[in-house]
Structure 1
Amino acid sequence: MSGYRLTTVETVREEGSWAFTAREGDEDREVFLVPCVDEPDGGAAEEGVDESQPVRAWINRCTHENQRLHREGVGAVTRGGSVVCPKHGSAFDTCEGFCDNGEAAGTELRSIDIEVRDGAVFLTDDDLTYLYEGLPDDDGDDEGPASSSHLTL
């Protein structure tokens, strides 16, 4: 079995999301993990979780604008089984990464290969090399969490 051990499913569930930075070629990539919740209302941590793949990993950028979905100190905003973009309110399914509303409708987050073994989450994506837990300091390339969305977060 291969892969870099990232964290535990329990940690992702307790924190709501968990982020790390990895290298792909010459570029650093921000990645975040979220619990895969099938139920539209989210439910309790144990309800609605796909136990065959209890967490999913996504590149930490909205597909509409280059906005972080997971922010240090805040995490990813999730609601009803979706990750919500803090800028425009587009909601991406936590299990599939697909967005069917808002500015990002019809797009899908880029998934990262992970595997869960005995409650631990491993990075198994051949294109990425783990660098460190957390995200790099904000480089000023996104406009921050100011929202023009009609949704209240």
Structure 2
Amino acid sequence: MTSRYRLTSVDAVRDEGSWVFTVRDQHDDDEEVFLVPCDDDEKPPVEAWVNRCTHEAQRLYREDIGAITRDGEVVCPKHGSTFDTCSGYCDNGDAADTTLVSVDVDVEDGQVYLADEDVTFLYEGTKHDDGDDDGPSSTSHLQF
């Protein structure tokens, strides 16, 4: 659908901790995708993940707080499962042994480009929802 679209800069993702945009996928569904820094020398300096926990359809990136990251992992605000920012893999909690859905991005000269042929960039930010998302009803013992 798209070959390459400039999203933001690596510095912006690092400064903010995360960055979100909305795409249309090959099934004509709108999906939120978030970028997070990746500190693995063998991978690009940012990675892109569909904004959905693999355990439930819980958003990992929220407009009010962004994506919660700790020690190189994205934390699910509902159950506390953590996903490696570079691989998307979870080795704990309710989402253990699953991996976030990735979206292909390229990094060139400090700029991040959408490079996934299966999606089309729509806009920066989250989807416009119907207003019934009051956030997670956390069952986790974790507090932020």
Fold conserved (TM > 0.5)? yes
Please state whether the residue corresponding to 1:6 is helix, strand or coil. strand
- Structure 2 spans left out of the alignment, 5+ residues: none
Residue 72 of structure 1, aligned match among 63, 68, 91 = 63
Aligned 1:11-30 pairs, distance under 5 A:
11-25=12-26, 26-30=28-32
CA distance in 1, matches of 2:42, 2:64: 27
Q: Does 2:58 align with 1:37? A: no
8 Å contact from structure 2 (residues 31, 127) kept in 1: no
Amino acid at match of 2:91: D
Q: Does 2:114 align with 1:112? A: no
Q: Which residue of 2 aligns with 1:150?
A: 141
8 Å contact from structure 2 (residues 30, 127) kept in 1: no
1:20-75 C-alpha deviation (Å, 9 max, x unpaired)? 0001131011100000135xxxxxxxxxxx37410000000000010000011310
Please state whether the residue corresponding to 2:15 is helix, strand or coil. helix
Amino acid at match of 1:66: A
Root-mean-square deviation (Å): 1.6
The runs of 4+ residues in structure 1 deviating greater than 2 Å are 137-143
Offset at residue 151 of structure 1 (A):
1.9
CA distance in 2, matches of 1:113, 1:99: 19
Please state whether the residue corresponding to 2:56 is helix, strand or coil. coil
Q: Which has the higher strand share?
A: 2
Please state whether the residue corresponding to 1:103 is helix, strand or coil. helix
Q: Which residue of 2 aligns with 1:6?
A: 7
CA distance in 2, matches of 1:145, 1:118: 37
Please state whether the residue corresponding to 1:137 is helix, strand or coil. coil
Amino acid at match of 1:102: G
1:64-91 C-alpha deviation (Å, 9 max, x unpaired)? 0100000113100000110000000000
TM-score by length of 1: 0.86
Amino acid at match of 2:61: H
TM-score by length of 2: 0.91
